[in-house]
Every structure is written in C-alpha cells, then in structure tokens.
Chain A
Amino acid sequence: MTGALRLAALLVSAVVVFLLPAQVPALYGAFTVIAILAVAAYGLDIVLSDLGEVSLAHTVFFAAGAYATGLLATRAGAGSWATLGAALLAGVAIALLLGLITLRLREFVFSLVTYAATVVAAALAHNWNFLGGSDGVSGIPTFDLSIGPLALTARNDAELWPFAFALLLVTLYAVRQFRRSRPGAMAMMVHLNPRLATMSGIDVRRVRLGIFVLSALFSAAAGWLYAYQRAYVGPDLFETYFLVLMLTAVVIIGKRLLLGPLLGTALIIGQERFLSFGGDVNAVILGGALIVALAFLPGGLASAFTGLAARVSTKKDPREDVVDA
C-alpha cells in the first residue's frame, strides 16, 4: 500500500470511529473511556517498548494528573486549561523525582522501585486529608475549555467524546513522531545496546530521564480528562486494576506498534462493558490475558496473527505451484 493510500485509509478509519457513537449512543461512554485509558497506556508504552523497562509507576502519573485537576477545580475554581497545565506539571514533577531516584536502576530493581513508589503514593492518598483521604475529591465541575466566544464544554460522555478523541489523536501523532525522531532513536539504542550508546556519545542517564518524564506527560494528560469524565478522584486510581489494564493494553497486541495500546485498551474495556461476567471473572480475564500475553505471546497478538498468516501462505504455495505447472 502506498503512503498516500495508507494515509487515506487511516483518515477514513478515524472518521468512522469518531462518528460511530453518534449512530449507537450507548458507545459514547465506552469510547470515551477507551480513548482516555489508551492515552494513559501510551505513556507506559514509551517506557516499556522504547526504553525496555517495565514501569509500575504510571498509575501514579495518571493519578497525579487526576488529583491535580480535582483539587484545583474544586478548591480554587480553576478552569480546564489551568488544570491541564497543573496536571502535566504534577506528572512531570513526580516523574522527574522518580526518574532521578531510578537513574542507575535497571530491569527488576527498576520495576520494584517504581512499584514501591505506587504503594507510597496510594498510602499518601488514602491518609492525607489534603488529598481528600479515602473519600477522595468529589464534585469536580464540568469540563470547560472555552476560549472567548468559542464554547468548548462537556457535561457528559457524549460531549466529552470529541475531546477524548482529539487527545488520542494528538497522542498517536506525538508517539509516532517521537519514534521517528532523534530522541526516539537514542532511546532505542540505550535500550538495545547501552554500551554502544555511551560510545556514540549518548548520555544514557539523560536519555532515560527524558523518556521517563515524556511518558509521564501522556499518563498525566489522561488523568486530567479522566477526572472530568468521572467528576471524582479517589485512591482507587492507584488500584492494580489501572496498572494491569495499562500493562495488558501495551503487551497484548504487541510492543512498539503505534495502534497496539489503543486496540489493547479497546479489547479490555469492550469485554468489561459488553461481555462482562462480573467483577471477579473480569479480573481473572484481565489478569489471565496479561499472563498469556507475557508467557505465550511475547510478540503479542499481532505477531501471532503474522505467524499464522505466514504458515497459511507457506502451505498455500505448493498448491499454487502445482496449479501453475
């Protein structure tokens, strides 16, 4: 497929996806949540796929964005532009701190420290009255990005969907451009061959820190919009549900695939919304999907399909030869 054709196909797909909930209004809620949580998962995807580290702290960045939004909106009456800035700032600040702490750490120890950070953050959220304690922060006002006479508000999922879709498109574009950029190439080199990266004059620690902070921006932005979607933020944002969802979304389709986290999130949320078997069974399905993806499909569903397609075409070839003969 030529580049122009591919672009046209992508544009048509995007338009169809955007307009689909208008035909089936029951999809607005699911599509909005898929878009938001997919953006959160892209933050983790960059660290996992490009830096090669399994971060278990991305729920903290997600929650930081949501809490910054909830606190500023309810206590200072801040608008959605201000809360967006605060959410990104909160995510970056925490990522910077955690990134500096984990600068020398690799693989298992890195994951363990990031998990510990999540536990500490959850305990703080549960017990610190400033953050609302275990009651969280409720009564977040409606989403409002209006600029002058241009009204950009959203009171429900149907009205929030265009904003969630726009955030998703911006994220997809940013991730695509990042992977084609020099920092993206440096991240891959740091991931695949840190010694070569050092010999090539790349400051490995600086690259790692930069990627970590960049990834937090996506998860924090998702937290910002999620706070408005739910109108409430609480310590449940630190629960393993969000962490397992993000991890599964990233690995189930295949790492470093631009649409991977989006399709993974859509699969998970779609099952929960439209094929739900109750909380316990859903948790088993989500956890089971993560286990299967990691243990049996290291390349994700995409590589499994590619392998299957290759086998089919290998089996098909001899027959074609016979026919040709």
Chain B
Amino acid sequence: MTSRRQLLRATAVGAFALAAPARLRAADPIKVGALFPLSGGAAPQGQHVTQAIEIAAAMVNEAGGVLGRPVQIIKRDDESTPAVGVSRANELIAEGVAVIIEGWNSPVTLATQTVIARAGVLDITAVSKADPILTGGGNPLAVRLNSSNAQDGRVIAEHLKATGAKRIAFLTQNDAYGNGAQASIEAQLKAVDHVWEKVGEEKFPFAQADFRVALTNIRGVNADAVVAINANEGSGLPALIRQARQMRLRGEFVTAVGTVAPSVISVAGEAANGIIGADIYFPNVEPFASNPVNQQFVKRAEEGIKYTPDKFMALGAAALQVWAAAANELKTLEREAIARRIRGGSFKGTVFGDVSFAADGQMQSSHHLFSVKDGKIEVRT
C-alpha cells in the first residue's frame, strides 16, 4: 500500500518532470545574428564589430540576460557581397534569431534588409550609412546607429563657418557616398547661413591612390579650406593626406566625418598632423571616458581582444544594448513592438551613454571635432 509520503513524493516528482520543459525553455538562449564581413578587405573591422557585439552580449548576460534568458551571438560572414549577404541572412533567419545586427557595407545592408524584414525578423543596422537604408522602403521598421550624411554635413559646415572659410574646395570620392556627403555639407553650409564660394572640385574613384593631378589643380585655387571626402581608409585616404602635405597644399585640410581612424593616422605618419576631422565616439575622451558602461566595454575589449574599441565596435555593442533594453522593458521579442519602441525612443546606459532615436530609426549622434597632433587625435571641447 502506498503511503501518503510516497504519494506526495511521486506527485512532486511528476510536477517537476512536467515543469522541466518550461524551465528548460526559459533557460534556452535567445539567438542574435551578427552579419558582417569576416573575410576579405573589411574582415578586420567586421571581426572587431562582431567581437564588440559578443562583449556587449556578455555584459547583458551578466546583468540577467534578456527576458531572463542568455543571449547567444550567431555570426555569419557577408563577405562584403550583397548576394552572399542575402544567403547568410537567410541562414540566420532559419536559425531562428530574434534580431539581426548587420551592416558594414551599404549595398549589403540594402540587399539584406528586405529579406530580413519579410521574414519578420528585427533588423538593426550598425554601421552602413547610405540614406536609402532608412528611406528606401526595403524595411519600414529600419533602425540605424551610425550617423547619417545629413548629421555629418552639419558639423563640418559649422566648423567651416566658425573658421571663416570663404573659399572652399572639395576632393570627393565619386560615388553615392562621396557625392552624398559633399551635397550634405553644401546644403548645411546654406542652412547655417554661411557665405562661401566653391573654388575647386576634384572627383576620384574609390580605389584611387594617386591624387597628384587633382591636388595640383586644388593648390592653384588658393582655397581657405579643402574638404577631403574619401572612405578608402586602408590606402586612399592616407595616400591623399601624404600627397597633400608633399605638395604643400594651402588652407585647412578637413576630412569627412568618421574617415580618420587611428589606422589612417598611423599609415599617413607625420603628414596627418594638423588635419581636422569629426567623429561620434572616442573611447577615452569625455563624455565617453567617464561613462561606466563604456569604461567596462573598453576594459573588456582591451583585456579580451587586446584592442581599444573604435567607433564601429561601439556601434555594434550599442546596437545589442539598445535591443536588449527594449526587449526587457516590453517583455517581448516581437519585431514590430521592439522596432516601434526604438524608433523615436530613448535609452540609458549604452556605451554611447544615453541615446535617442529619431522617428525614422536614425540614432541621434553627438559629433566631436578633433585635430591630429603628434600623431594623436585631440578632441576639441
């Protein structure tokens, strides 16, 4: 005959067994896709961004995860190729990811965003800058963290006005990015009521590394400021900076926002001293230096991957932090609800500090001007 104690024990075991699947489900990780170039020319940067997302995921997990579950990063290589990006995005969708953080190269983002949106998966663009990412209709719930061309143009225009540059020349990469960036600076110069004259304009393809003919033409126009828009940070921009110095180009040398990374200064050498630039993140400069979340992020990156995070890594980390905050607040992983919370919303405690997003999904960045002195970036207050 079964005793009462045995019955109770059996009931408890049964209840535990029935509850087990639910408990296991609760502990199942939430998969997050990271889609960046992990091979090819942009591989080092893509790998850094992916590592930054993993660092941010570890920070989120230590703080309790998302909906009480750990976050697991599943990374894929888009190979900087739209066709491959679409394939890899489909793989991530098939893996059942809750969100895909992607976007180093704009054409890859433009190709993948529609596929991700149609699959009902949340898509957060970390770095790609093309305007159609937010306006092209590929993803009506698009979210992007990197600054837009319009935001970038404003800070350069305000600097040119502040320095009283009247005769301005442009050295511009001849593609959608370069032409868009120049158009934005020109529009913002008008918006800030600055009276100026375009005294020179030279266009060049992305891969160009010899600018001597263009620089000779620009030198002849006696510009007060020369604006260089060149996103080829590996070879083109350092070559342009060096050749401009060798040709003793007159006027202040102003670079487009986000193009002068420490690696550019390292390759350009002494020629980089004196150039002006602007960016939205510096790991060890205020207001970022005193931000405890950023401090922790920088420390983990320096200890874990022996690399001081750059802006691109910060963007990747912030993308994950913003998504995690929205999901925890709303207690859901549902794409539309989270996207609507982010678009037009504000978040505290990211590597960028407190951030807010415009209604179209664009993160509002705070730009900081800097100059290069003795091979180091000196942020202007």
Contacts and interface: CB of A to CB of B under 8 A. Distances in A.
Q: Is the interface of A mostly helix, strand, loop or mixed?
A: helix
Contacts of B176: 133-135
Contacts, number: 103
**How many interface residues does chain B have, given as a range?**
35 or more
Interface string A286-315: 000000000000000000000000000000
A259 interface: no
A266 to B, nearest CB: 15
B39 A232 contact: no
Interface residues of A, number: 37
Nearest to A281: B39
Interface string A116-144: 00000000001100000111101110100
Contacts of B132: 135, 138-139
A33 B79 CA distance: 17
A231 B82 contact: no
Interface stretch (A83-91, A209-217, A233-241): A233-241
B262 interface: no
Interface in B102-117: 106-107, 110-111, 113-115
A87 to B, nearest CB: 18
Interface stretch (A8-16, A184-192, A271-279): A271-279
B44 interface: no
A120 B94 CA distance: 38
Given A135-B110, A138-B132, A156-B118, A231 B138 contact: yes
A231 B118 contact: yes
A234 B82 contact: yes
A3 interface: no
B151 interface: no
B90 A234 contact: no
Contact of A138 (B86, B114, B119): B114
A155 interface: yes
Nearest to B82: A236
B119 A232 contact: no
A280 interface: yes
A139 B137 contact: yes
A164 B285 CA distance: 54
B83 to A, nearest CB: 7
A230 interface: yes
A278 B38 contact: yes
A25 B96 CA distance: 13
B378 to A, nearest CB: 33
Nearest to A226: B83
B88 to A, nearest CB: 9
A157 B90 contact: yes
B119 A156 contact: yes
Contacts of A127: 174-175
Nearest to A155: B118
Contacts of B175: 126-127, 133-134
B137 A272 contact: no
A230 B81 contact: no
Interface string B71-92: 0000001011111101100110
22 contacts: A29-B87, A127-B175, A134-B106, A135-B106, A135-B107, A135-B110, A135-B136, A138-B111, A138-B136, A139-B136, A139-B138, A156-B119, A232-B111, A235-B107, A236-B107, A236-B111, A242-B83, A273-B87, A279-B37, A279-B39, A279-B80, A282-B79
Interface of A: 25-26, 29-30, 33, 74, 126-127, 133-136, 138-140, 142, 155-157, 229-232, 234-236, 239, 241-242, 272-273, 276, 278-282
Top 8 closest A-B pairs, CB basis? Answer: A279-B79, A139-B137, A231-B114, A279-B39, A278-B39, A138-B136, A133-B176, A134-B176
